[in-house]
Structure formats: structure tokens, C-alpha cells
Amino acid sequence: MTAASLPSVRGRLTADAPLAPLVWFKTGGRAEWLFEPADGEDLEAFITALPPELPVRALGLGSNLIVRDGGLPGVTVRLGKAFSTVTVDGNWLLCGAGAPGILVASTARDHGLAGLEFLRGIPGTVGGAVRMNAGAYGREVADTLCDATIQLREGRVRVCDVGALGYRYRHSDLPDDAIVTGCSFYATPGDKAVISAEMDRIAAEREASQPLRSRTGGSTFKNPPGLKAWQLVDDAGCRGLMVGGAQVSEKHTNFLINTGTATSADIEALGDEVRARVLANSGVELEWEIERIGKFLEKAA
């Protein structure tokens, strides 16, 4: 498909765009098309006019994601500055989906609003957090989200309240091709010093316990009910386990890291090997928390 056969845009539309620089693992293939819309109207017009058979996928900061080595077919949408604003209206925070979680938490703090400190510990954008009901340090998005604005594939824009999103642990009922473009959170008045201290505590705990300086994808597996994924991985003898250039972190065993030469196939194979060893050791079947998307790379004959 050529650029001439796609709808015109005011933003940027790039063919055969490399995605590895855009995700935390720094691995993966290319996007057939990468679209960075100028604003919501640009996105809506483009999505509405796209051929219905062309896949569409949103990409945030790529912090909890494996893009497979064969890349992504269709259109990958990446929301930029126009979708990265955070404004305060009373006790409400109105956020673009491209805003990082840390910006939301910091803005709430600066206005003396509490309840969003946990977003300091979640890498990635608000859009990704809303999609997966991200959580950390005892709270999750479902606890404080009011509503989300969703660009649907058929062209409609819908505002969904939190009850319509079908939230469960690290999951929502949003279709894969629906794009979160914004949301609103509700916070409560609090003491700035107390809020700041809690955010500092979260930041220090992350620094001490997680391999933040490595090429990683965040928390790899969901915690089974009443259990900790990292402990199950550790008990199965997987600390430091490697497949190709991918390794189970020595610092936190629910993190996989790219030691510098890993492919996405290495990382995914390592995750599956860890799941198999945990199942054999404990009888518990770990579920992926990291999303894995795209095509596997076809091997030469």
C-alpha cells in the first residue's frame, strides 16, 4: 500500500518505520506505517477513512511491550505532544493519553491533590495505563479513573466511564484497535509535603529493587492470586537465566533484560522458558503482563 492510497494527514505518516528505538527493550521490527497525528481531529479523520482491512495499533512509550522481530503490519499510531497535556479542574485531572504517568502524579502533587502518587511508579503513558489497568504500590488505575476518551476503529469517539471498561487485574475490555486519547482522574485534597514524601518513597523503592538502568520491559508476569511472580521465578531457579542476549534480571526476577544483543524472539523465548520452569516447580502457570505484538520474523530457507 502506498502513501497515495492512504488518507491525507496533517501530522506525520512514515513508511517502514523502525520501532526498536521507541520501545524500552530496544528490540523488534518495523511498522508498515507509523502515524503521529497532529491532534484528535487529525486522528479521527485518518482512522475513519482508513481501509477497514488495515490493522491499527496504538504505541505509547513501549515500556511494557515486546514488538516482535517481524514488525507490525498496518498502521501504528503514536500520540505526541498534542496528547501529552495535564490540566487541573478542582479535584479533577484532565489528561491526554500521551502524558507520562510521572507527569500526572507530579501535577497532582503540585496542586495538593492526593491519590495518584502510585503513577510515579508506573513507566509509560496514561493511555497504556488506562488500557491495561496498570497498578503499583497498592493502587491501580481503576481506583481513581473517572472516564476515558476512546477513538474507535469505525471512526466514532466515545467517552467511557470507568465501569464500562470491564477492568480486571491488569486488563480491560478495550478492543486491540481502540485508541485511548485522553482520560480524567479524581483526586482528593492532601498535604503537598506528605504527597511528595510518598512519591519520593516510591521512586527510591523502584531504584533499589528494579533494574531501571537496563533495557527492560517492566514487570513481566502478573502476580497470581495471593502469590508474588518474582518469588515463583526465583524458587524455580531462574535468576540470571539467559536465552541468547536476554536474561532474567539478577536484581528483580520478574524483570527480563536485553543485555545488549537480544532479539525480541530471545526475550519472548526466555519468558516462555521461565513460565515452563515455574509450572514444573510449583504447578502455577504464570500469565504474561508484558504485551507481545507483531509478527515473528520469517527464517530464511
Beta-strand relationship, 30-36 and 72-78: parallel
pLDDT at residue 3 in the model: 72
Beta-strand relationship, 30-36 and 12-18: antiparallel
Q: Is 219 contained in some domain?
A: yes
- Active-site residue identified among 68, 170, 215, 275: 170
Task: Say if residue 9 is in the same domain as residue 113.
Answer: no
Task: Say if residue 181 is in the same domain as residue 261.
Answer: no
Q: What is the pTM of this model?
A: 0.93
Q: Is 151 contained in some domain?
A: yes
Mean pLDDT of the chain: 95
Q: Is 199 contained in some domain?
A: yes
Q: What is the CATH number of the domain that holds 50?
A: 3.30.43.10
Q: What is the CATH number of the domain that holds 146?
A: 3.30.465.10
Tens of each residue's pLDDT in the chain, 301 residues: 677 789 999 999 999 999 999 999 999 999 999 999 999 999 999 999 999 899 999 999 999 999 999 999 999 999 999 999 999 999 999 999 999 999 999 999 999 999 999 999 998 899 999 999 999 999 999 999 999 999 998 889 999 999 999 999 999 999 989 999 999 999 999 999 999 999 999 999 999 999 988 999 999 999 999 999 999 999 999 999 999 999 999 999 999 999 999 999 999 999 999 999 999 999 999 999 999 999 999 875 4
Q: Is 91 contained in some domain?
A: yes
Q: Is 301 contained in some domain?
A: no
pLDDT at residue 155 in the model: 86
The number of folded domains in the chain is: 3
Query: What are the tens digits of pLDDT across the range 200-234?
Result: 999 999 999 999 889 999 999 999 999 999 999 99
Question: Can 120 be counted among the known catalytic residues?
Answer: no
pLDDT at residue 123 in the model: 87
Question: Are the CB atoms for 124 and 101 separated by under 8 Å?
Answer: yes
- Active-site residue identified among 172, 184, 219, 264: 219
Q: Is 273 contained in some domain?
A: yes
Question: Can 289 be counted among the known catalytic residues?
Answer: yes
Nearest to 61 by CA among 14, 95, 21: 21
**Residue 94 domain boundaries:** 83-208
Task: Say if residue 87 is in the same domain as residue 199.
Answer: yes
- Active-site residue identified among 36, 140, 268, 289: 289
- Adjacent-strand bridge partners of 188: 114
